Structure 1
Amino acid sequence: MAAPSNAEQTQLQDMEEEEAGMEEREMESDEEEGMGVENSEDEEDDSSEDEKENEAEIQRLEEQLSINAFDYNCHVDLIKLLKQEGELLRLRKARQKMSELFPLTEEIWLDWLKDEIRLTEEDSNREKVYELFERAAKDYICPDIWLEYAQYSIGGMGSPGGIDKVRSIFERAVTAVGLHMTKGQTLWEAYREFENAVLSTVQPPPGRIPSREEQELLSTQLERIHTLFRRQLAVPLMDMETTYAEYEEWSENGVPETAVHLYRKALQQKEKCKSYEEALMVAEPPKLAEYQAYIEFELKEGDPARVQITFERALAENCLVPDMWTKYTTYLDRQLKIKDLVLSTHERAVRNCPWTMSLWKSYLQALERHGADHQSVSDVFEKALNAGFIQATDYVEIWQAYLDYLRRRVDFSKESSKELEELRAAFSRSLDYLKQDVEERFGESGDPSCAVMQIWARIEAHHCKNMQKARELWDNIMTKGNAKYANMWLEYYNLERAYGDMTHCRKALHRAVQCTSDYPEHVCEVLLTFERVEGTLEDWDTAVQKTETRLNRINEQRAKAAEKETNLVRHEEEKMEQRRKAKAEKKAQKKAQKTRNGDNNPDEYMETESGLFVRNAPPGNKSGAARNAQQGAAVAAQRQNDRRDNSCSVFISNLAYTLEDPEAKLKSLFESCGPIQQVRLITGNGGISRGYGYVQFESAAAVPDALKLDRKEVEGRPMFVSPCIDKNKNPDFKVFKYNTSMEKHKIFISGLPYSCTKEQLAEICKPHGSIRDVRLVTYRTGKPKGLAYVEFANETQASQAVLKLDGIDVEGNKISVAISNPPRKNLTDKPGSSRPTGDIMPRQVHGSRGRGRTQLSLLPRSLHRQLAPPGKVENGTTAELAPPPTATSSTAANAGGEPRSLSNSDFAKMLLNNNECKKNPN
């Protein structure tokens, strides 16, 4: 006979300590009874008041649950109060009601089970407790519940078949949670302790030789314990080294070689998982990120049992995370495919997250996949409708999933069948449900494009050959606000083309021409193409007349809309100009105030040789005078350079300020275009680059090749390359290089993910036609805007691409696709514009990139209003090479009308006269 194991010795010590503790508690209770007589009356009064308060709270909670049975916290509070009051029957009813609506947590189940175990001491009631344990084991895979279940079953081992029942429960327990790395060992040890207890009953008394039957029973039982040791050592568990040492001590012949091999393999697996288990130990609940990393590891390892237990551990703490349930059920559907396991997991998923439509949809498909009866599928669908989805579109999708299931049940080879009638009734009911229940609840239609009706119409046309019903459905679709969309009419036209006749095709296209407002050109083209193939000359004439009339009307509407938009823009610009005037007048008043306070000095300016005025240095400050003279000379030199012939130069802008050795970089970029004479970058204070400059070639022949480098990426930013043209002398020069009118062969795409490349977008669009060009729109920094233009070979291909690509998902983003029709640029500043400009101040000539150094005026701001206004330039920009207007006035012109340079005395007179006018405005 083997010596008692360490676990057996520990159990005996626990039993002795428990007996001693019971004696102490009996003595304490006797003392308390003696002391309690004195204070019994006061305690009774206090307890009666507490009971009344608790009963009132219990009634309030029960009333609240009668109104809203899905209040989870209310259920929990009611159960706590009933348990505190000892209302066992009401407590059992409350727990039962909550378990029907929600999966219960491990703590709630253990409390319920322990209470029921105390109430059912008779053997006749043990079956009810077994049923309760079975329900608890289905909600979550919890080691503590399985351990409690197995220990409770040991109490019934004396009944017929009791030992086999205990073994069956232990086997299910170690199958369910035996792989739990931190808690599985407890179950294995309990299982072995039970078998050791059975072993003690089959061993003969000391000194007696067992019979043959007794020896067989003894050998069988010993082999059971050996097998349990070997099975446990093959599972990677925490503290498995202790189990191995215990097996060595228990076994008379040592550990078998096969068990040693499996043990070492399990140790290696435990080392792989150790880091994940340690991360779970130190993490705060619910440990979602740690469990996700653990699951990814187990999925790569590929052991289905370990993947399953890891998912179950994660869901026990993250039961309200729909994505976790989705990942688990998808794994079971595609990998294990075990019917009972798959369906039970789907059922648990929708019980935990009933608001998630995708889980219900997957559940319906799993039921059909595993051959569930029609009533079961219908019952699950009805539960889904009452689950309380959070979006109107969720109800459309769940209806579509159920209608797909019903359609697959129909045998369309028969003209009429029970399944077909059920399908039609379900379609009719779905439309009523979406119109009444969904729209009333959410205030919007979950199916604006009438996808359910479109499917029904196609089924009637394709499978049932019932075009009359299909046309009725499409008439209903068009009356729900879809008649203005070209794609809806073309879908109906394609249905008629496939299953109807030419008369109804022509009728559908004529109605499309009259009703479509988003892409009228496209439906007109489809009608004309149809008549080219199918119609007579009379049909052709009618089609041409209708399309021309419709397009003329559309163009008039667009012109009115454009005019309205232009008026709005003009109104906004007028308001902005008024604000600018008010701001300028305010600044002028402040300047005049300073002048009246004696802040000006007429001799503080001097005239340079170039005709510019610079501030004089104070007396005695010769270095300041020299610096001012140098500044004037530099400005004059800059202007002289700007007057050179620019036909051999290009203007470069949008360069990064931090670009290292920019001149060398630009030379390397443009040297392939032709010989370079000079690269000149504009710098600010301290010699820091301002991000733009000029490249001058030896020959004008190099300029066209240089312009082709426009938008070339230079260290993450697109470099802008434009010709050096004085826009004051060339008002028709257009800075915007792309078309601003409708381009029927080109589509505009918005909503693209920022990570989308030109190659990826070309692959998406390639199935719909021949692609000529793809252009991604970016900011000046090179960062994508999520917009793009795709140019096709012709208009038809572009229109088909719009219909097929609009609304599709690209990397999780829903894109919008339309024919390219950019908003018109503001043309009111062009010569010959009809817009009145006399009451609006001229735009600044320095453009959007700021005022260049050569454009700085050295006149006092108080004299700016006396200067002639600079000429306007298209788009509010100026040529960077154009010299600014010389500081002249009406008094600085000679008799021939030519401007002359002002002397220092003239300048002083102007300044004094201006100040005098401000002091004496009358």
Structure 2
Amino acid sequence: MAASSSAEQTQLQDMEDEDAGMEEREMESDGEEEEEEGMGVENSDDEEDDSSEDEKENEAEIQRLEEQLSINAFDYNCHVDLIKLLKQEGELVRLRKARQKMSELFPLTEEIWLDWLKDEIRLTEEEPNREKVYELFEKAIKDYICPDIWLEYAQYSIGGMGSPGGIDKVRSIFERAVTAVGLHMTKGQTVWEAYREFENAILSTVQPPPGRIPSREEQELLKAQLERIHTLFRRQLAVPLMDMEATYAEYEEWSEQGVSEGVIHQYRKALKQLEKCKPYEESLMAAEPPKLAEYQSYLDFELKEGDPARVQITFERTMAENCLVPDMWAKYNTYLDRQLKVRDMVLSTHERAVRNCPWTMGLWKSYLLALERHGADHHTVSDVFEKALNAGFIQATDYVEIWQAYLDYLRRRVDFSKESSKELEELRGAFARSLDYMKQDVEERFGESGDPSCLIMQIWARIEALHCKNIQKARELWDSIMTKGNAKFANMWLEYYNLERSYGDPVHCRKALHRAVQCTSDYPEHVCEVLLTFERVEGSLEDWDLAVQKTETRLNRVNEQRAKVAEKEANMVRQEEDRADQRRKNRSDKKFQKKTQKGTRAGEKRKVEQDDYHNEWNEDSEQAPKRHRGNGDQTTDEYMETETGLFGKNAPPGYKPGPPGAKKAQQEAAAQRQNDDKPELRNDNCSVFISNLTYTLEEPEAKLRTLFEICGPIKQIRPVFSNKGGFKGYGYVQFESSVSVPEALKLDRREVEGRPMFVSPCVDKNKNPDFKVFKYNTSLEKQKIFISGLPFSCTKEQLEELCKSHGNIKEVRLVTYRSGKPKGLAYVDFGDEAHASQAVLKMDGMEVEGNKISVAISNPPRRNVMDKPGSSRPGADLMPRQVFGSRGRGRTQLSLLPRSLHRQSEPAGKVENGTAAAQNPATTSTAGETKPLSNSDFAKMLLKNSARLP
């Protein structure tokens, strides 16, 4: 009865509240009824239609995203978009499933985790469901070390402190939180403060009410609780955190006994550490995400300091904002593997790394090694390997390396003292499966073999021969290796020969070497030498004769083939040179025709102007002598130039004379400029010549100063410009000291806006005719290899990474055109000859980005010196010798010598009109050639004609 009456009262109260709400809504709508009479129904219908259309569009988009994820479950952005739409539509059940699917494939960001946790907390208000939220929090804290997630976890656990063991659970979570993020310099303080607030709340519950004497048990509880709070203060003040001064002041005020000397010492030590870290924290706050460079410098500082806990929290902060940087994960894993070596921490970090960057083979490889190093069970290691195979690597070679890592792990599990075991059969099965995987999966996906040298089969053959004493199986594997296109390489036959030499017999060694002589095409001389050496040690006379016969026959055939190839290449080069000469000749003819046409038009125009001038002179000839006689201070040449406007036969049209003495000033200025540019007036010992710069270089002086100021103090920079003001691509840099010149020469071939900049000493080539700009060796260099056929996209770093496995590299040089475009050629200088030879054997014929490269010892052909002055060659005395300048043969091949000097001189005995020549020495040379008139000759002729006038 009581229950029913109370239910009825509740129902009545709800009805009264509903009536009151309806009356209130009616009162609010009284003033709007007239306005909404004709529009209310229509507006509500429109809003319903719009909302229904939006819902349909969102549902269609949700279905599209779900279908796309069913096709490609690893589309990260698709997961994020689907979660946003489902949250917007309020589809809580589907939203939970979408989040769970994404968390199974990827680590979730801090924002996604916090949204998910808050939604689950609102949905699970009942006590029995708290464990599900706890499980979700445990997953969240494993993805990233985030202070906000830990703080949310601790605060949520406080809500369950009333259950049995609830207080201990809260304390456990807080302890884990301060251990994980308590060293976070900017956000760790909030976790410490929340922990102390919780303990202060517990303190208020154990304190007796005022006026009552506590019991002995209550005093012990109170004392223990006070000690907890003291301990929290001491622990926090020993950690460098932002605003730790306020925490110290709070502790001074809270503590009745004051602050002990030990706490003060720890506090001051933490303050010093805070001052060291503040610049790095300030740079992080000022930088834009992802702040990789700032975090890198911060990590370098912490690694130098050497505090493992601080190094770990700095790594965690870095990875929270740079979770997709594989190199940073690799660096973090390496630190944990070599320094901390804590099993749970190491393995969890490796797992997070491969979840964030599953496409990086190196992370999976280090994960497998870490599992084996820390004693993980075989099932776990195999599962991780299978996940690695499904991760989707970028290169075919990545699959070879991950298979090699797994096979190494399986080989280390086998006890080879037993003839047969389960582990040995598993190893052999894995080798067979790896070969099938390479053939079926990798080659079909990438269109190429990830293991062209059959490294996996080579390892398998060695294991069979060394550990299992099964040389027959090893021979079968090597037969398979040779049938896969490796029979032409000398290094493959030598590997097989060494295997037979170590574990086989002389008969099979001889057989392998005979096959090598017949099949090898890259270095047949080497395998022939090995065969002869073997027969000297092992063979009979018949064996020796047979080996000599086979090697001679093979080498003769190889030499004939090489001669044919060399002749073919020479013909191709000759044809290309002929075509280039023809193109140059055609360009020269066109330029000569244009100049001839232009000169003809200019000569006709000049003739017309001269005729007009002579006509004017004849009309006004009476005034000329008077003007001349009235200016006695001027010479004849100056008078002709200033008064008549003549400047010899080359006077330009429209020439206007300057004031008296102007020509002399101009000559002095030109001479001064020439003197300024003379090498002897510059300090060439302190200068360098810069060339091959792009014409479009903006502010070349400032650019050159930026490039060369690292070499030493600069006295002057002089870029050279054309008459129109455009930069000509070269210039001079003069330093204050000659010590800076060698440093500047090191910048030779430095790339500037896509072109290699040439830096050479300032040398007067007229005084130093033997000066050579070419600085590279042109003879045989046994420690250097020459690589051709490289893709144009290959960089210096990529080539260095490709070659470093063969030995110590001193220098890598990519050959480019003057424009900076690559030629596909490179030189790699190794530390010694053995490394260079090994690189040639291993790399020749290798494919790089689809291009098959050729590798050989550097032996450039001799430079052509036949046309240089002083060179001896057949018929040198019978043919005229052509001497080129210091810059070599010109492009146009046009002669700059006047035509008059091209005519051969007449003998002195054939000059008949010697009297005429004697009478007119200004116009006739001793050889009978006519000389052009000078300004002075032309002036004398005019004066002579004017004197004859009446």
TM-score using structure 1 length: 0.71
User: Is 1:748–2:752 an aligned residue pair?
Assistant: no
**Alignment partner, residue 366 of structure 1:** 370
Unmatched 5+ stretches in structure 2: 1-19, 611-647, 666-677, 688-719, 722-729, 732-744, 749-758, 789-793, 798-802, 847-851, 911-924, 934-950
Distance change in 2, residues 1:530/1:254 (3 Å): same
Kindly provide the CA deviation profile for residues 815-837 of structure 1, in whole angstroms up to 9, marking residues without a partner as x.
98634554476799899999xxx
Distance change in 2, residues 1:508/1:190 (3 Å): same
Which of 827, 852, 857 is 1:787 aligned to? 827
User: Is 1:71–2:75 an aligned residue pair?
Assistant: yes
**Alignment partner, residue 280 of structure 1:** 284
Which of 880, 903, 915 is 2:928 aligned to? 903
Kindly provide the CA deviation profile for residues 598-632 of structure 1, in whole angstroms up to 9, marking residues without a partner as x.
72999x9xxxxxxxxxx9887999999999xxxxx
Kindly provide the CA deviation profile for residues 99-142 of structure 1, in whole angstroms up to 9, marking residues without a partner as x.
11111111111111111111111111111110000000101011
Q: How does 1:406-485 map to 2 (within 5 A)?
A: 406-485=410-489
User: Is 1:260–2:264 an aligned residue pair?
Assistant: yes
State the alpha-carbon separation in 1 of the partners of residues 516 and 765 from structure 2: 45
User: Is 1:495–2:532 an aligned residue pair?
Assistant: no
Counterpart of 1:849, as a letter, is R
Q: How does 1:131-146 map to 2 (within 5 A)?
A: 131-146=135-150
| Shift of residue 441, structure 1, vs aligned partner | 0.9
State the alpha-carbon separation in 1 of the partners of residues 420 and 102 from structure 2: 45
Counterpart of 1:450, as a letter, is C
User: Is 1:549–2:586 an aligned residue pair?
Assistant: no
Which of 241, 244, 247 is 2:245 aligned to? 241
Kindly provide the CA deviation profile for residues 316-342 of structure 1, in whole angstroms up to 9, marking residues without a partner as x.
111111111111111111111000000
User: Is 1:343–2:381 an aligned residue pair?
Assistant: no
8 Å Cα contact 1:892/1:901 also seen in 2:
no
**Alignment partner, residue 734 of structure 2:** none
8 Å Cα contact 2:284/2:295 also seen in 1:
yes
Q: How does 1:754-833 map to 2 (within 5 A)?
A: 787=827, 802-803=840-841, 818-823=856-861
Kindly provide the CA deviation profile for residues 418-444 of structure 1, in whole angstroms up to 9, marking residues without a partner as x.
111111111111111111111111111
3-state secondary structure, aligned to 1:449 = coil
Distance change in 2, residues 1:297/1:747 (3 Å): closer
Distance change in 2, residues 1:719/1:438 (3 Å): farther
3-state secondary structure, aligned to 2:827 = strand
**Alignment partner, residue 328 of structure 1:** 332
Number of equivalences: 747
Distance change in 2, residues 1:804/1:71 (3 Å): closer
8 Å Cα contact 1:182/1:237 also seen in 2:
yes
Which of 533, 537, 558 is 1:533 aligned to? 537
State the alpha-carbon separation in 2 of the partners of residues 464 and 516 from structure 1: 30
State the alpha-carbon separation in 2 of the partners of residues 230 and 792 from structure 1: 61
Of the structure 1 ranges 40-49 and 85-94, higher mean CA displacement relative to structure 2 is found in 40-49
Kindly provide the CA deviation profile for residues 785-841 of structure 1, in whole angstroms up to 9, marking residues without a partner as x.
963678999xx9985685489899xxxxx998634554476799899999xxx9xxx
Counterpart of 1:226, as a letter, is H
Q: How does 1:83-102 map to 2 (within 5 A)?
A: 83-102=87-106
State the alpha-carbon separation in 1 of the partners of residues 253 and 831 from structure 2: 81
Which of 831, 845, 849 is 2:887 aligned to? 849
Which of the pair has the greater relative contact order for Cα pairs under 8 Å at 6+ separation? 1
Distance change in 2, residues 1:153/1:745 (3 Å): closer
8 Å Cα contact 1:233/1:240 also seen in 2:
yes
Distance change in 2, residues 1:163/1:356 (3 Å): same
State the alpha-carbon separation in 2 of the partners of residues 168 and 792 from structure 1: 61
| Shift of residue 364, structure 1, vs aligned partner | 0.3
State the alpha-carbon separation in 1 of the partners of residues 317 and 882 from structure 2: 69
User: Is 1:232–2:236 an aligned residue pair?
Assistant: yes
State the alpha-carbon separation in 2 of the partners of residues 331 and 487 from structure 1: 38
Of the structure 1 ranges 45-54 and 264-273, higher mean CA displacement relative to structure 2 is found in 45-54
| Shift of residue 591, structure 1, vs aligned partner | 4.0
State the alpha-carbon separation in 1 of the partners of residues 429 and 681 from structure 2: 70
Distance change in 2, residues 1:803/1:56 (3 Å): closer
Kindly provide the CA deviation profile for residues 698-729 of structure 1, in whole angstroms up to 9, marking residues without a partner as x.
xxxxxxxxxxxxxx9999858999999999xx
| Shift of residue 844, structure 1, vs aligned partner | 6.4
**Alignment partner, residue 151 of structure 2:** 147
State the alpha-carbon separation in 1 of the partners of residues 509 and 59 from structure 2: 74
Of the structure 1 ranges 29-38 and 381-390, higher mean CA displacement relative to structure 2 is found in 29-38
State the alpha-carbon separation in 1 of the partners of residues 110 and 474 from structure 2: 54
3-state secondary structure, aligned to 2:391 = coil
Counterpart of 1:171, as a letter, is E
State the alpha-carbon separation in 1 of the partners of residues 92 and 464 from structure 2: 59
**Alignment partner, residue 113 of structure 2:** 109
8 Å Cα contact 2:787/2:827 also seen in 1:
yes
Kindly provide the CA deviation profile for residues 287-331 of structure 1, in whole angstroms up to 9, marking residues without a partner as x.
111111111111111111111111111111111111111111111
Kindly provide the CA deviation profile for residues 31-75 of structure 1, in whole angstroms up to 9, marking residues without a partner as x.
789769987944444433332222222222212211111111211
8 Å Cα contact 2:905/2:927 also seen in 1:
no
8 Å Cα contact 1:617/1:624 also seen in 2:
no
Counterpart of 2:428, as a letter, is R
User: Is 1:122–2:162 an aligned residue pair?
Assistant: no
Distance change in 2, residues 1:815/1:157 (3 Å): farther
Distance change in 2, residues 1:663/1:827 (3 Å): closer
User: Is 1:398–2:436 an aligned residue pair?
Assistant: no
3-state secondary structure, aligned to 1:748 = strand
8 Å Cα contact 2:588/2:894 also seen in 1:
no
8 Å Cα contact 2:813/2:827 also seen in 1:
yes
3-state secondary structure, aligned to 1:818 = strand
**Alignment partner, residue 770 of structure 1:** none
State the alpha-carbon separation in 1 of the partners of residues 351 and 265 from structure 2: 40
Of the structure 1 ranges 126-135 and 497-506, higher mean CA displacement relative to structure 2 is found in 497-506
Distance change in 2, residues 1:524/1:217 (3 Å): same
Distance change in 2, residues 1:102/1:469 (3 Å): same
8 Å Cα contact 1:485/1:516 also seen in 2:
yes
Counterpart of 1:514, as a letter, is Q
8 Å Cα contact 1:827/1:833 also seen in 2:
no
State the alpha-carbon separation in 2 of the partners of residues 523 and 33 from structure 1: 105
User: Is 1:599–2:603 an aligned residue pair?
Assistant: yes
Distance change in 2, residues 1:579/1:858 (3 Å): closer
The percent identity for this pair of structures is 73
State the alpha-carbon separation in 1 of the partners of residues 542 and 662 from structure 2: 90
User: Is 1:50–2:54 an aligned residue pair?
Assistant: yes
State the alpha-carbon separation in 2 of the partners of residues 232 and 739 from structure 1: 66
3-state secondary structure, aligned to 1:904 = coil
Counterpart of 1:250, as a letter, is W
Of the structure 1 ranges 37-46 and 412-421, higher mean CA displacement relative to structure 2 is found in 37-46
8 Å Cα contact 1:713/1:719 also seen in 2:
no
3-state secondary structure, aligned to 1:129 = helix
Q: How does 1:204-219 map to 2 (within 5 A)?
A: 204-219=208-223
Unmatched 5+ stretches in structure 1: 1-26, 605-614, 628-655, 666-683, 692-711, 728-733, 756-760, 768-772, 809-813, 865-886, 909-922
Distance change in 2, residues 1:545/1:617 (3 Å): same
8 Å Cα contact 2:785/2:827 also seen in 1:
yes
8 Å Cα contact 1:799/1:819 also seen in 2:
yes
Kindly provide the CA deviation profile for residues 569-618 of structure 1, in whole angstroms up to 9, marking residues without a partner as x.
1111211222222223223323443454472999x9xxxxxxxxxx9887
